Amino acid sequence: MKMDRILLKMSGEALAGDKKHGFDEETVRDVSNQVKQIVDKGIQVCVVIGGGNFWRGRTSDNMDRVKADSIGMLATVMNCIYTADSFRSCGIKTHIMTPFVCGNMTELFDKDKAIAYMEQGDVVFFAGGIGHPYFSTDMATVLMAIEVQADVILSGKAIDGVYDSDPKTNPNAKKYDSMKMSDIVDNKLGVIDLASAVLAMENKMPMMLFGLNDENSIVKAVTGGFTGTYVNA
Ligand code: UDP
């Protein structure tokens, strides 16, 4: 499979490691070292990070959804600033792009600029989701991957793949080695949100899902030894 340009998606929850909230420095440092190895192989990398380690949706029915989602989008900006700085300390040059103005903390998303950065070996973070409420970072992941013509989405989660039932409650749950994006759409599997899965399916964007906290899992997804779930477009 061609992997010249990849989009790495990390859920906020996975970034928090065992702490489940905020950042786990060791986890982020490990991710940074792995991405450095990948970039050094000449593979172009862009990154989307969720916000679930800080904020996900409304905390009460009284809260306006638009306001809650704005906080969620800003949480993804914080995650990208933190992770980009960790990448920098590992010797990777980074840029953070957002769909809205964030002063001098980020630059506005521009597809051509993003591709030019990646072509010179820099890593580009797409923070702030798609900039609209009622969406998720899954949507930003698929949309950005399509726009910048990534070959595949690598999705590092707190869980190590797609199961036929919840492994937390069913010890006999079975992990799929591979599946089709249409399985996710037809059976509303919730691996990624439905609208994002439809977009990925229509644009033939494949996805590899794996446990971010499994040893060397990002490098293995690129160079071999992948043990997660491959989702065919
Ligand atoms: N969000 C949004 N629009 C976007 C992306 C994110 O409104 O385009 C908000 C939404 O409230 C979401 C939160 O940001 O719940 C955090 O993103 P997500 O739940 O996707 O994070 P993850 O679960 O991947 O950590």
Return d(Cα 147, Cα 69) in angstroms, integer.
23
Q: What is the length of the chain?
A: 233
**Residue whose CA is at the smallest distance from ligand 1 atom 11:** 69
Question: pLDDT tens for residues 52-75?
Answer: 999 887 778 899 999 999 999 999
The pLDDT assigned to 56 comes to 81
**Residue whose CA is at the smallest distance from ligand 1 atom 14:** 72
More confident residue, 17 or 111: 111
Please say whether the beta carbons of 94 and 125 come within 8 A. Answer: yes
**CATH code of the domain containing 57:** 3.40.1160.10
Question: pLDDT tens for residues 143-164?
Answer: 999 999 999 999 999 899 999 8
Q: 12 in ligand 1 pocket by Cβ < 6 Å?
A: yes
Burial group, residue 140, by CB count within 10 angstroms (0-12, 13-18, 19+): buried
The pLDDT assigned to 75 comes to 96
Token reading at 184: 């996710």
Show Cβ contacts of residue 98 under 8 Å, excluding neighbours closer than 6 positions: 77, 106, 107, 108, 109, 126, 127, 128, 131
The pLDDT assigned to 19 comes to 85
The pLDDT assigned to 17 comes to 85
Which value does ipTM take for this structure?
A: 0.95
User: Is the pLDDT confidence value at 177 over 90?
Assistant: yes
Token reading at 164: 């036929």
The pLDDT assigned to 18 comes to 86
Domain residues for the domain of 85 are: 5-232
Return d(Cα 215, Cα 102) in angstroms, integer.
35
Q: 161 in ligand 1 pocket by Cβ < 6 Å?
A: no
Q: Measured in angstroms, how far is the CA atom of residue 162 from the centroid of ligand 1? A: 20
User: Is the pLDDT confidence value at 20 over 90?
Assistant: no
Q: 86 in ligand 1 pocket by Cβ < 6 Å?
A: no
Tally of domains in the chain:
1
The pLDDT assigned to 58 comes to 79
**To which H or E segment does residue 188 belong?**
none
| Ligand 1 atom nearest residue 70's Cα | 7
